[in-house]
A = this chain, B = another copy of it.
Protein backbone atom coordinates (compact mmCIF):
# COMPACT_ATOMS: atom_id res chain seq x y z
CA UNK A 1 0.00 0.00 0.00
CA UNK A 2 1.08 3.55 -0.76
CA UNK A 3 1.34 5.57 2.40
CA UNK A 4 -0.07 9.03 2.02
CA UNK A 5 -0.36 12.29 3.97
CA UNK A 6 -2.61 15.25 3.15
CA UNK A 7 -1.46 18.67 4.33
CA UNK A 8 -4.25 21.23 4.39
CA UNK A 9 -6.74 18.44 4.73
CA UNK A 10 -9.60 20.48 6.16
CA UNK A 11 -10.01 22.98 3.34
CA UNK A 12 -12.46 22.21 0.54
CA UNK A 13 -9.89 20.62 -1.78
CA UNK A 14 -8.37 18.77 1.16
CA UNK A 15 -11.65 17.21 2.19
CA UNK A 16 -12.34 16.11 -1.37
CA UNK A 17 -8.88 14.58 -1.57
CA UNK A 18 -9.44 12.63 1.62
CA UNK A 19 -12.76 11.42 0.25
CA UNK A 20 -11.17 10.13 -2.94
CA UNK A 21 -8.04 8.68 -1.34
CA UNK A 22 -10.12 6.89 1.25
CA UNK A 23 -11.62 4.62 -1.40
CA UNK A 24 -8.42 4.29 -3.43
CA UNK A 25 -7.55 0.57 -3.48
CA UNK A 26 -3.79 1.09 -3.27
CA UNK A 27 -3.65 3.91 -0.76
CA UNK A 28 -3.31 3.90 2.99
CA UNK A 29 -4.24 7.30 4.35
CA UNK A 30 -1.72 7.80 7.15
CA UNK A 31 -1.78 11.44 8.22
CA UNK A 32 -4.16 14.35 7.90
CA UNK A 33 -2.48 17.64 8.67
CA UNK A 34 -4.48 20.72 9.56
CA UNK A 35 -3.40 24.08 10.87
CA UNK A 36 -6.82 25.09 12.15
CA UNK A 37 -8.05 21.80 13.54
CA UNK A 38 -4.98 19.94 14.84
CA UNK A 39 -5.98 17.61 17.65
CA UNK A 40 -9.53 17.22 16.44
CA UNK A 41 -10.87 14.16 14.70
CA UNK A 42 -11.40 14.63 10.99
CA UNK A 43 -14.95 13.31 11.33
CA UNK A 44 -15.73 16.08 13.80
CA UNK A 45 -14.74 18.71 11.23
CA UNK A 46 -16.42 16.84 8.39
CA UNK A 47 -19.26 14.79 9.84
CA UNK A 48 -19.81 13.03 6.52
CA UNK A 49 -16.85 10.91 7.72
CA UNK A 50 -18.63 9.74 10.85
CA UNK A 51 -18.17 5.99 11.33
CA UNK A 52 -15.84 6.02 8.32
CA UNK A 53 -12.57 7.23 9.80
CA UNK A 54 -11.19 7.93 13.27
CA UNK A 55 -8.11 9.79 12.08
CA UNK A 56 -7.10 12.73 14.29
CA UNK A 57 -5.68 15.77 12.52
CA UNK A 58 -2.12 16.70 13.47
CA UNK A 59 -0.23 19.92 12.95
CA UNK A 60 2.57 20.38 10.46
CA UNK A 61 5.30 20.51 13.13
CA UNK A 62 4.37 17.08 14.46
CA UNK A 63 4.18 15.75 10.96
CA UNK A 64 7.62 17.01 9.99
CA UNK A 65 9.21 15.87 13.22
CA UNK A 66 8.38 12.21 13.24
CA UNK A 67 5.76 11.22 10.70
CA UNK A 68 6.89 12.37 7.29
CA UNK A 69 9.30 9.48 6.91
CA UNK A 70 6.42 7.01 6.99
CA UNK A 71 5.03 8.49 3.80
CA UNK A 72 5.44 7.65 0.13
CA UNK A 73 3.39 10.59 -1.08
CA UNK A 74 2.56 13.97 0.43
CA UNK A 75 -0.31 16.03 -0.99
CA UNK A 76 -0.59 19.71 -0.09
CA UNK A 77 -3.66 21.88 -0.52
CA UNK A 78 -2.40 25.15 0.91
CA UNK A 79 -2.67 28.85 0.14
CA UNK A 80 0.15 30.02 -2.15
CA UNK A 81 3.52 30.58 -0.54
CA UNK A 82 3.06 27.83 2.03
CA UNK A 83 3.97 24.76 -0.01
CA UNK A 84 7.59 25.43 -0.85
CA UNK A 85 9.14 24.57 2.50
CA UNK A 86 7.21 21.35 2.65
CA UNK A 87 8.11 20.49 -0.92
CA UNK A 88 11.76 21.03 -0.05
CA UNK A 89 11.54 18.61 2.87
CA UNK A 90 9.92 15.98 0.68
CA UNK A 91 12.41 16.57 -2.09
CA UNK A 92 15.35 15.99 0.25
CA UNK A 93 13.74 12.80 1.49
CA UNK A 94 12.80 11.63 -2.01
CA UNK A 95 9.09 11.62 -1.16
CA UNK A 96 6.66 12.35 -3.99
CA UNK A 97 5.12 15.78 -3.42
CA UNK A 98 1.91 16.78 -5.19
CA UNK A 99 0.98 20.42 -4.75
CA UNK A 100 -2.63 21.37 -5.27
CA UNK A 101 -1.65 24.97 -4.51
CA UNK A 102 -0.02 27.46 -6.85
CA UNK A 103 3.63 27.44 -5.80
CA UNK A 104 5.03 25.25 -8.54
CA UNK A 105 2.77 26.05 -11.46
CA UNK A 106 4.68 28.94 -12.99
CA UNK A 107 7.95 28.06 -14.66
CA UNK A 108 9.08 31.65 -14.88
CA UNK A 109 9.90 33.09 -11.48
CA UNK A 110 9.18 36.57 -12.79
CA UNK A 111 5.59 35.58 -13.43
CA UNK A 112 5.28 34.30 -9.88
CA UNK A 113 6.64 37.55 -8.56
CA UNK A 114 4.36 39.64 -10.75
CA UNK A 115 1.16 37.78 -10.01
CA UNK A 116 1.76 36.45 -6.48
CA UNK A 117 4.14 39.10 -5.12
CA UNK A 118 6.71 36.64 -3.84
CA UNK A 119 10.01 35.08 -4.84
CA UNK A 120 10.86 31.40 -4.90
CA UNK A 121 12.76 30.29 -1.84
CA UNK A 122 14.27 27.20 -3.43
CA UNK A 123 14.56 27.90 -7.16
CA UNK A 124 16.56 24.72 -7.66
CA UNK A 125 13.67 22.40 -6.80
CA UNK A 126 11.36 24.21 -9.21
CA UNK A 127 13.53 23.02 -12.09
CA UNK A 128 12.82 19.50 -11.06
CA UNK A 129 9.09 20.01 -10.74
CA UNK A 130 6.52 19.43 -13.47
CA UNK A 131 3.15 20.98 -14.27
CA UNK A 132 0.79 18.04 -14.20
CA UNK A 133 -2.17 18.47 -16.50
CA UNK A 134 -2.41 14.74 -16.94
CA UNK A 135 -3.83 14.51 -20.46
CA UNK A 136 -1.13 16.85 -21.78
CA UNK A 137 1.89 16.23 -19.57
CA UNK A 138 1.28 12.68 -18.48
CA UNK A 139 4.40 11.44 -20.21
CA UNK A 140 6.61 14.09 -18.60
CA UNK A 141 5.78 13.57 -14.98
CA UNK A 142 6.79 9.96 -14.57
CA UNK A 143 10.24 10.70 -13.16
CA UNK A 144 9.35 13.82 -11.26
CA UNK A 145 9.25 14.22 -7.50
CA UNK A 146 7.34 17.48 -7.37
CA UNK A 147 4.10 17.77 -9.31
CA UNK A 148 2.30 21.06 -9.69
CA UNK A 149 -1.37 20.19 -9.88
CA UNK A 150 -3.07 22.64 -12.27
CA UNK A 151 -5.54 25.28 -11.12
CA UNK A 152 -9.23 24.64 -11.57
CA UNK A 153 -9.90 27.28 -14.22
CA UNK A 154 -6.70 26.41 -16.15
CA UNK A 155 -7.65 22.73 -16.27
CA UNK A 156 -10.97 23.45 -17.97
CA UNK A 157 -9.44 26.02 -20.30
CA UNK A 158 -6.22 24.31 -21.38
CA UNK A 159 -8.00 21.04 -22.12
CA UNK A 160 -10.54 23.02 -24.12
CA UNK A 161 -8.01 24.93 -26.22
CA UNK A 162 -5.04 22.61 -26.54
CA UNK A 163 -5.91 20.71 -29.74
CA UNK A 164 -6.94 23.92 -31.52
CA UNK A 165 -3.65 25.60 -30.66
CA UNK A 166 -1.47 22.57 -31.24
CA UNK A 167 -3.00 22.27 -34.69
CA UNK A 168 -2.75 26.01 -35.36
CA UNK A 169 -6.41 26.31 -36.19
CA UNK A 170 -6.89 29.65 -34.50
CA UNK A 171 -5.56 33.17 -34.24
CA UNK A 172 -3.61 33.12 -31.00
CA UNK A 173 -4.28 36.81 -30.36
CA UNK A 174 -8.03 36.37 -30.42
CA UNK A 175 -8.57 34.13 -27.39
CA UNK A 176 -11.26 35.20 -24.97
CA UNK A 177 -12.22 33.03 -22.02
CA UNK A 178 -15.33 33.49 -19.95
CA UNK A 179 -15.41 31.10 -16.97
CA UNK A 180 -18.11 30.41 -14.40
CA UNK A 181 -17.34 28.68 -11.11
CA UNK A 182 -19.28 27.28 -8.18
CA UNK A 183 -18.79 28.83 -4.76
CA UNK A 184 -16.40 26.23 -3.33
CA UNK A 185 -13.89 27.82 -5.70
CA UNK A 186 -13.68 30.68 -3.22
CA UNK A 187 -12.33 28.40 -0.50
CA UNK A 188 -13.34 27.91 3.11
CA UNK A 189 -11.89 31.06 4.65
CA UNK A 190 -14.53 33.13 6.40
CA UNK A 191 -15.71 35.89 4.09
CA UNK A 192 -18.91 37.85 3.79
CA UNK A 193 -18.95 37.37 0.03
CA UNK A 194 -19.18 33.60 0.48
CA UNK A 195 -22.21 33.86 2.78
CA UNK A 196 -25.27 32.14 1.41
CA UNK A 197 -27.46 35.22 1.18
CA UNK A 198 -24.65 37.23 -0.43
CA UNK A 199 -24.14 34.99 -3.44
CA UNK A 200 -27.34 32.98 -3.77
CA UNK A 201 -29.71 34.03 -6.58
CA UNK A 202 -26.99 36.12 -8.19
CA UNK A 203 -23.96 35.95 -10.43
CA UNK A 204 -20.97 38.25 -10.59
CA UNK A 205 -17.72 38.71 -12.46
CA UNK A 206 -14.62 39.20 -10.30
CA UNK A 207 -10.94 39.98 -10.84
CA UNK A 208 -11.76 40.82 -14.45
CA UNK A 209 -8.52 40.63 -16.39
CA UNK A 210 -6.50 40.18 -13.23
CA UNK A 211 -7.07 36.66 -11.87
CA UNK A 212 -3.93 34.80 -10.80
CA UNK A 213 -4.73 31.85 -13.00
CA UNK A 214 -4.02 34.02 -16.06
CA UNK A 215 -0.24 33.47 -16.26
CA UNK A 216 -0.68 29.76 -15.72
CA UNK A 217 -3.16 29.55 -18.59
CA UNK A 218 -0.93 31.65 -20.83
CA UNK A 219 2.16 29.58 -20.01
CA UNK A 220 0.54 26.36 -21.09
CA UNK A 221 -1.25 27.76 -24.13
CA UNK A 222 2.01 29.35 -25.27
CA UNK A 223 3.81 26.06 -25.02
CA UNK A 224 1.08 24.38 -27.04
CA UNK A 225 1.24 26.99 -29.76
CA UNK A 226 4.97 27.59 -29.75
CA UNK A 227 4.65 31.34 -29.34
CA UNK A 228 3.77 33.68 -26.54
CA UNK A 229 0.04 34.02 -26.10
CA UNK A 230 -1.93 36.57 -24.16
CA UNK A 231 -5.56 35.98 -23.36
CA UNK A 232 -8.60 37.72 -21.94
CA UNK A 233 -9.89 35.87 -18.90
CA UNK A 234 -12.95 36.70 -16.81
CA UNK A 235 -14.01 34.44 -13.94
CA UNK A 236 -17.53 34.57 -12.52
CA UNK A 237 -19.16 33.14 -9.38
CA UNK A 238 -22.37 31.17 -9.88
CA UNK A 239 -24.73 29.96 -7.12
CA UNK A 240 -23.87 26.26 -7.05
CA UNK A 241 -21.51 24.32 -4.82
CA UNK A 242 -19.25 22.82 -7.47
CA UNK A 243 -18.25 22.95 -11.08
CA UNK A 244 -16.70 25.18 -13.70
CA UNK A 245 -17.96 25.96 -17.15
CA UNK A 246 -15.56 27.84 -19.44
CA UNK A 247 -16.80 29.36 -22.69
CA UNK A 248 -13.88 30.05 -25.00
CA UNK A 249 -13.98 32.21 -28.11
CA UNK A 250 -11.33 32.42 -30.82
CA UNK A 251 -11.04 33.37 -34.48
CA UNK A 252 -10.41 30.58 -36.96
CA UNK A 253 -7.50 31.02 -39.31
CA UNK A 254 -8.69 28.30 -41.63
CA UNK A 255 -11.98 27.40 -43.28
CA UNK A 256 -13.22 24.64 -41.06
CA UNK A 257 -16.61 23.47 -40.01
CA UNK A 258 -17.70 22.07 -36.69
CA UNK A 259 -17.22 18.45 -37.62
CA UNK A 260 -13.69 19.02 -38.93
CA UNK A 261 -12.71 20.35 -35.55
CA UNK A 262 -14.62 17.73 -33.62
CA UNK A 263 -12.64 15.15 -35.52
CA UNK A 264 -9.34 16.78 -34.57
CA UNK A 265 -10.41 16.94 -30.93
CA UNK A 266 -11.67 13.37 -30.98
CA UNK A 267 -8.38 12.19 -32.40
CA UNK A 268 -6.32 14.22 -29.94
CA UNK A 269 -8.13 12.88 -26.89
CA UNK A 270 -8.93 9.41 -28.21
CA UNK A 271 -6.91 7.61 -25.55
CA UNK A 272 -7.81 9.95 -22.74
CA UNK A 273 -10.42 8.33 -20.56
CA UNK A 274 -11.32 11.48 -18.66
CA UNK A 275 -11.97 13.76 -21.64
CA UNK A 276 -15.31 13.53 -23.39
CA UNK A 277 -15.81 15.30 -26.71
CA UNK A 278 -19.50 15.83 -27.43
CA UNK A 279 -20.98 15.37 -30.85
CA UNK A 280 -22.24 18.28 -32.96
CA UNK A 281 -25.05 20.43 -31.54
CA UNK A 282 -24.50 19.09 -28.06
CA UNK A 283 -23.05 21.17 -25.26
CA UNK A 284 -21.79 20.26 -21.83
CA UNK A 285 -23.52 20.95 -18.54
CA UNK A 286 -21.75 21.07 -15.22
CA UNK A 287 -24.04 18.40 -13.83
CA UNK A 288 -22.85 15.92 -16.47
CA UNK A 289 -19.44 15.79 -14.74
CA UNK A 290 -20.34 16.66 -11.14
CA UNK A 291 -18.47 14.60 -8.59
CA UNK A 292 -16.26 13.03 -11.25
CA UNK A 293 -12.85 13.44 -12.85
CA UNK A 294 -14.23 14.05 -16.35
CA UNK A 295 -13.70 17.07 -18.53
CA UNK A 296 -16.47 17.44 -21.10
CA UNK A 297 -16.00 19.57 -24.19
CA UNK A 298 -18.46 20.74 -26.84
CA UNK A 299 -17.72 23.13 -29.67
CA UNK A 300 -19.21 24.87 -32.66
CA UNK A 301 -17.99 26.95 -35.54
CA UNK A 302 -20.11 30.06 -35.81
CA UNK A 303 -19.93 30.50 -39.58
CA UNK A 304 -21.49 33.95 -39.44
CA UNK A 305 -18.35 35.33 -37.79
CA UNK A 306 -15.89 32.52 -38.52
CA UNK A 307 -15.28 32.03 -34.85
CA UNK A 308 -14.81 28.83 -32.87
CA UNK A 309 -16.71 28.59 -29.59
CA UNK A 310 -15.55 25.91 -27.18
CA UNK A 311 -17.44 25.03 -24.01
CA UNK A 312 -15.58 23.01 -21.41
CA UNK A 313 -16.82 21.77 -18.03
CA UNK A 314 -15.18 20.09 -15.06
CA UNK A 315 -15.89 19.59 -11.40
CA UNK A 316 -13.59 22.17 -9.82
CA UNK A 317 -13.09 19.98 -6.75
CA UNK A 318 -12.27 16.78 -8.66
CA UNK A 319 -10.66 17.24 -12.08
CA UNK A 320 -9.90 20.82 -11.00
CA UNK A 321 -8.16 19.77 -7.78
CA UNK A 322 -8.31 16.52 -5.80
CA UNK A 323 -9.16 14.09 -8.59
CA UNK A 324 -6.42 15.28 -10.88
CA UNK A 325 -3.99 15.17 -7.96
CA UNK A 326 -4.78 11.48 -7.51
CA UNK A 327 -4.55 10.95 -11.26
CA UNK A 328 -1.08 12.51 -11.13
CA UNK A 329 -0.08 10.22 -8.28
CA UNK A 330 -1.31 7.20 -10.22
CA UNK A 331 0.73 8.19 -13.27
CA UNK A 332 3.95 8.90 -11.38
CA UNK A 333 3.70 5.66 -9.45
CA UNK A 334 2.92 3.62 -12.54
CA UNK A 335 -0.58 2.64 -11.46
CA UNK A 336 -3.61 2.59 -13.70
CA UNK A 337 -4.37 6.24 -14.38
CA UNK A 338 -7.97 5.93 -13.23
CA UNK A 339 -7.42 3.88 -10.09
CA UNK A 340 -9.72 5.16 -7.37
CA UNK A 341 -11.25 7.60 -9.85
CA UNK A 342 -14.10 5.54 -11.29
CA UNK A 343 -16.56 8.12 -10.01
CA UNK A 344 -19.71 8.24 -12.10
CA UNK A 345 -20.96 11.83 -12.26
CA UNK A 346 -23.94 12.56 -10.02
CA UNK A 347 -26.29 14.25 -12.45
CA UNK A 348 -28.71 14.99 -9.58
Residue from the list B49, B203, B285, B348 in contact with A285, Cβ < 8 A: B203
Q: Mark A170-182, 1 if CB is under 8 A from B, else 0.
A: 0001001010101
Any B CB within 8 A of the CB of A329: no
Residue from the list B195, B202, B286 in contact with A202, Cβ < 8 A: B286
A176 / chain B contacts, CB cutoff of 8 Å:
176, 249, 307
Given A304-B209, A317-B348, A348-B317, also A241-B285 (CB < 8 A): no
A319 close to B (CB within 8 Å)? no
Is A184 an interface residue when CB atoms closer than 8 A count as contact?
Answer: yes
Return the CB mask of A88-104 against B: 1 if under 8 Å, else 0.
00000000000000000
| Number of copies of chain A assembled together | 4
Among B182, B239, B296, B300, point to the contact of A50 (Cβ < 8 A).
B296
A1 proximal to B (CB < 8 A): no
Q: Are A204 and B285 in contact, with the CB atoms below 8 A?
A: yes
Looking at the assembled complex, report how far the CB atom of A252 sits from the nearest CB atom of chain B, in whole angstroms.
12
Given A201-B287, A309-B209, A346-B346: A302 touches B232 (CB 8 Å cut-off): yes
In Å, the complex CA distance between A241 and B287 comes to 12
- Measured between beta carbons, the chain B residues less than 8 angstroms from A245 are 203-205, 236
Known A196-B199, A202-B240, A209-B302; judge A348-B178 contact (CB<8 A). Answer: no
Q: Answer yes or no: A231 CB below 8 A from chain B CBs.
A: yes
Per the CB 8 Å criterion, the residue count for chain A at the interface is: 83
A344 to B182, CA, bound (A): 21
Contact in complex: A290, B236 (CB < 8 Å): no
Q: Chain B nearest CB: distance from A339 CB in Å?
A: 13
Cβ contacts A to B, 22 pairs, < 8 Å: A19-B344, A47-B347, A48-B292, A48-B344, A178-B247, A180-B238, A183-B200, A184-B348, A196-B200, A200-B239, A201-B286, A202-B287, A204-B285, A204-B286, A208-B311, A230-B304, A232-B249, A232-B305, A232-B307, A234-B311, A236-B245, A291-B346
